[in-house]
């Protein structure tokens, strides 16, 4: 498994909130692998609900976690039936 990017938006938000990845995973009800995928920006097949849970646990908008979401074409963000 690839490790998360050290300077990803997720890593910066964790540092600001003095929160560990394992704590965020527990709050959001997701796996550490899911957090790693978000840190890499690999959310193409992730369930929208999963990303929303993680962003809510951090108190931020999904585009703050994955900036590329703000520039994707409408309807091409995430799959409701995706993995994650």
d(CA 61, CA 65): 7
Place of tokens 């394992």: 22
The burial class, CB within 10 Å (0-12 / 13-18 / 19+), for 42 is middle
Domains, the chain, in order of start with CATH, read 9-71 (1.10.260.40)
- The encoded tokens of residue 57 equal 């646990």
Predicted local confidence at residue 27, as pLDDT: 96
- Give pLDDT, residue 72: 65
pLDDT digit string (tens) for the chain, length 84 residues: 445 556 899 999 999 989 999 999 999 999 999 999 999 988 888 898 999 999 999 999 998 988 887 776 665 554 444 444
Please tell me the predicted confidence (pLDDT) of residue 71: 75
Query: pTM above 0.75?
Result: yes
């Amino acid at each position: 498994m690839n490790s998360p990017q050290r300077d990803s938006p997720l890593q910066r938000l964790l540092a600001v909130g003095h929160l560990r990845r394992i704590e965020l995973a527990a709050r959001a009800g997701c796996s550490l692998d899911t957090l790693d995928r978000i840190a890499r920006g690999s959310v193409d097949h992730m369930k929208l609900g999963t990303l929303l849970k993680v962003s809510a646990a951090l108190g931020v908008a999904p585009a703050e976690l994955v900036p590329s979401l703000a520039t994707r074409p409408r309807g091409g963000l995430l799959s409701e039936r995706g993995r994650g």
